[in-house]
Amino acid sequence: DTGTGRERLGHDGASGGQEDAASKQWARPRFTQPSKMRRRVIARPVGSSVRLKCVASGHPRPDIMWMKDDQALTGLEAGEHRKKKWTLSLKNLRPEDSGRYTCRVSNRAGAINATYKVDVIQRTRSKPVLTGTHPVNTTVDFGGT
């Protein structure tokens, strides 16, 4: 889109240049740190914490809204779960904190969103149980595998 706008600037007269200057100011939101958003399914034990990031840019500067299971997080919930500008921090996790957390980033030019699935795992007080193939004693020649 921006390439087309730049071409228009060169070919049109003054009015075309003004239109382009106005449209150039508008930029749809985009996530600026997608590498920090790769893990979309997160499992954490009860009592731990997690930070969900949705760092984005755009013009005008986009706003962010956090939702849990398609319901906007209220101020009370946001107080318990600190909200910095682009990060939702969930602390002292409880089983009822499990769910789908969505960040909706929007400005006048458009909107994007990303969803994280958070599973809060209840710890059980029992001795560990080996699952799968159990370790066995094995003899290996020197240099072997």
**Has residue 47 got a pLDDT over 60?**
yes
Q: Which two tokens stand for residue 89?
A: 């921090």
Q: Cβ–Cβ contacts within 10 Å for residue 118, how many? A: 19
* Count of alpha carbons within 13 angstroms of residue 81, beta-carbon side: 21
The residue that leads in pLDDT, 128 or 42, is: 42
Residue ranges and CATH numbers for the domains of the chain are: 40-121 (2.60.40.10)
Q: Which of 121, 104, 95 is nearest to 52 (CA)?
A: 104
Render pLDDT for 82-121 as a digit per residue (tens, 0 to 9): 556 788 989 999 999 999 999 999 999 999 999 999 999 9
Q: How confident is the model at residue 129 (pLDDT cuts 50, 70, 90)?
A: confident
The residue that leads in pLDDT, 85 or 54, is: 54
Q: How confident is the model at residue 135 (pLDDT cuts 50, 70, 90)?
A: confident
What integer is the mean pLDDT of 42-64?
Answer: 92
Neighbouring residues of 16: CB distance < 8 A, sequence distance ≥ 6: 8, 9
Calculate the dihedral angle through the C-alpha atoms of 99, 100, 101, 102, rounding to the nearest 10 degrees: -160
How does DSSP classify residue 86? S
